[in-house]
Structure 1
Amino acid sequence: MITKEDNSKVTILLSKKSISFFKAQSKKSGVPYQSMIKKVLDLYADRFAHK
């Protein structure tokens, strides 16, 4: 069974450079850019939460 993650909506200011990067990657891959940003943050948190 797949369980749904507990998510929270936030507002965050990001650089135009970062947003442009993720939007360009989104066009190439077809993955929504906000989902990409979420995945990067989740991976970072997982990596450093276990130290």
Structure 2
Amino acid sequence: MRADSMMDRLASIWLLLNPLSRSQRHSVSRVISGIVIALTLGPPASESLLFTTH
């Protein structure tokens, strides 16, 4: 359930990134994947990190 809402948030972020250039999108996608990895590992601090970057 939480993973679904997380994917929805990432999808909405990705739609916002679409107008960016390819190099910008690549660097931002690396940041997003880093957030996803941190959330998968599960420390609570990484969850607050996601909300501050959102």
TMscore range, shorter length: 0.3 to 0.5
With structure 1 as the length reference, what TM-score do the two structures score? 0.39
With structure 2 as the length reference, what TM-score do the two structures score? 0.37
**Structure number with larger C-alpha Rg:** 1
Bigger helix fraction:
2
